[in-house]
Amino acid sequence: MAGLAGAASSGGDTFPKILLHNAKVFGDRTAVREKDFGIWQSWTWTQVRDNIRDLSLGLKELGLQQGQKVAIVGANRPRLYWSMVAAQAIGAVPVPVYADSVAEEMAYVLGHAEVAFAVVEDQEQVDKLLSMDSEVPTLKDIIYDETRGLRDYDHTHLHDFAAVQALGRKVLEKDPGTEKAWEDGFAPAKGSDIAVMLYTSGTTGRPKGVMLSFDNLIISARNANAFDHLDEHEEVLAYLPMAWIGDHVFSLAQAFTAGYCVNCPESLDTIDVDRLEIAPTYFFAPPRVFESMLTSIMVRMEDAGKTKRRMFDYFMGVARRSGEKILNGESVSLKDRLLYRLGEFFVYGPLKNRMGLTRMKVGYTAGEAIGPEIFRFYRALGLNLKQLYGQTEASVYITLQPDGEIYGDTVGKPAPSVELKIAENGEVLYRSPGVFVGYYKNDEATRSTKTEEGWVHTGDAGFIAENGHLKIIDRAKDVGKLNDGSLFAPKYIENKLKFFPNIKEAVAFGDGRDRVGVFINIDLTAVGSWAERNNVNYASYQELAAHPQVYAMIQEHVDQVNRDLASEPMMAGAQIRRFLVLHKELDADDGELTRTQKVRRNFIAERYAPLIEALYDGSTSKHVRTEVTFEDGRVGAIEATVEIRDMPAHEASGLQEAAE
């Protein structure tokens, strides 16, 4: 399966070996930047190697041994990335964990992984870990990056990151031979060794620890670099959770194999400004990031002057007509070509600059289906945004859209060295060099996911279209039928709703029922700004959500979606017949979304059972009481009376066909 690139082709088959190679080859090239104290601080590959080496030696002094697990908890910081490679150099396995998960979730993961060490960002994480003493008995030492607030803690098993590095340097000074010994230490490591353990956020059940080998990551990363022609000149922004496979591959595996520069933002709240300053050439974002960027543009345009607005509307029309064709290299009339140039100067260029995407060579979105309208918007601006379809178990890549072959409703062709097949029940299966080794301490789950021949069940329903592209409809288990037999793909409907800037989240119900009913979450930014412009008074999210004018606006959106659905033969039967606007924002802290912000359908169905009942019993309003969990773990309750509205169905304009 060596097709494009073997793991050992250049630089080595493990990250510590690639690190030495990069320090030699790229030496003074910038490897990492982090914005700190308002300035972008940078480190070259040589400095990165020295930092990792010092830390690694320090960890060894503290007693870290081969095979032990090291938890990594925090936001994207160079030191945390370094910790992963420093651990790997000793033969230990890093386990990045979602930093914002509540103590209970984290305790489960750390306990399951039996971590011995933890490298964390700051006091918040230290406190969290210290509170899990009993659940994670294996955890001995904690190393922290940010010293603040930790001065007076008991430091017997708590160490400052810099102090651990100093410890490593001391060993090095005492015996200069240590460096050679350190390098020799990881020389015998093989590509088939476990590189990292990533816990899947789990839309259902407990998180599972996905074990990935160096081969998995490095071969996949090299293939991806070759596929999109990425080299050491790229700039990426590392801002997605470190525990997520996407960030691990983009900010570590691909960065190491290609040698490009990873930029860590100042804080999670400054990402927009940081992206603008860095202007990444290779950019990855889940659909919600593109959605919220588009929402904020639309909101600002609403506030702009008349001339600007007209200019924006006119040139966006031009872009929608010809932008994507130009990007795909298709023929476009001279007039449109010229107008597009003009638009680039007046509208698209400044817009792209504002979003920090001016230099973007290639951008990907994945994780969830992106609304076709959102996707088209960015492509129309001339941004080479593409979709990919991936999974933790595949080291990300399953399918990718090749340049020039972009279809909004497909996720592309199989990535290099990936084989695809569709099972009887419509489930997508794949086999690739990136296929995970197994779930940690869960052979049963491994067996049910990965066949003996190495095929992995994705859990997604889809089919391969005539052009060879994979089309995903929904989670295999979510696709259902209405009682009249029409196909019901909830995510498909939800995505259509979510394209409206005013709608942040939607949850559709209908499987095994007579008609489709929908919960809607308004987007506070967009609707709040609309309320301000229209003199709508409100005191809280809850009040705004229940406002009759907001309802009227959402009703129009729902009607538009129904019209769209009516025009598609497969979907016309599943138009939205009733909807309600939820009185609270769906939140991961309440378990309604996963940590990657995906809707947990079953959980919501259970939690809001009275509302679902009301959707189907014909009542026009319903009083509900919902418990909410604050960030510090305290519990409160929100009460509200939610209105439910009926919607007319549109005549199907296409031919009605059976779903199969």
Applying CB under 8 A, which residues contact another protein? 36-39, 124, 127-128, 148-149, 151-154, 266-267, 269-270, 273, 630-634
Q: Which is nearer to another protein, 395 or 626 (CB)?
A: 626
Q: Which is nearer to another protein, 37 or 174 (CB)?
A: 37
DSSP conformation letters of 64-131: --TT-EEEEESSS-HHHHHHHHHHHHHT-EEEEE-TTS-HHHHHHHHHHHTEEEEEESSHHHHHHHHT
Q: How far is the CB of 274 from another protein (least distance, A)?
A: 9
- For residue 94, what are the contacts with CB-CB under 8 A and spacing of at least 6? 69, 70, 71, 72, 83, 84, 87, 88, 196, 197
Check the CA dihedral 356-357-358-362 and report its sign: positive
Q: How far is the CB of 108 from another protein (least distance, A)?
A: 19
* Burial status of residue 628 (CB atoms within 10 A of its CB: 0-12, 13-18, 19 or more): middle
Rounded alpha-carbon distances, angstroms, from residue 613 to 295, 491, 608, 609: 32, 21, 9, 6
Residue 498: closest CA among 294, 351, 349, 645: 294
Residue type, 600: R
Angle at 412 between CA 417 and CA 384, to 5 degrees: 110
Question: What is the three-class DSSP state of 632?
Answer: coil
Q: How far is the CB of 35 from another protein (least distance, A)?
A: 8
Q: Which is nearer to another protein, 263 or 446 (CB)?
A: 263
Rounded alpha-carbon distances, angstroms, from residue 507 to 385, 493, 503, 613: 26, 9, 11, 14
Q: How far is the CB of 129 from another protein (least distance, A)?
A: 12
Q: Which is nearer to another protein, 36 or 627 (CB)?
A: 36
Q: Which is nearer to another protein, 124 or 511 (CB)?
A: 124
Q: At which residue do the structure tokens 């809850």 appear?
A: 542
> What dihedral do alpha carbons 314, 316, 321, 326 form, nearest 10°?
120
Q: How far is the CB of 133 from another protein (least distance, A)?
A: 13
Q: How far is the CB of 34 from another protein (least distance, A)?
A: 12
User: How far, rounded to the nearest angstrom, does the alpha carbon of residue 594 sit from its chain's CA centroid?
Assistant: 11
Q: Which is nearer to another protein, 404 or 633 (CB)?
A: 633
Q: Which helix (H) or strand (E) holds 488?
A: strand 487-488
Q: Which is nearer to another protein, 161 or 455 (CB)?
A: 161
Q: How far is the CB of 121 from another protein (least distance, A)?
A: 11
Q: How far is the CB of 379 from another protein (least distance, A)?
A: 30
Q: How far is the CB of 265 from another protein (least distance, A)?
A: 9
Q: Which is nearer to another protein, 148 or 306 (CB)?
A: 148
Q: Which is nearer to another protein, 132 or 422 (CB)?
A: 132
Contact at 8 Å (CB) between 554 and 576? no
- For residue 393, what are the contacts with CB-CB under 8 A and spacing of at least 6? 200, 210, 435, 436, 449, 450, 456
Q: Which is nearer to another protein, 148 or 625 (CB)?
A: 148
Q: How far is the CB of 582 from another protein (least distance, A)?
A: 21
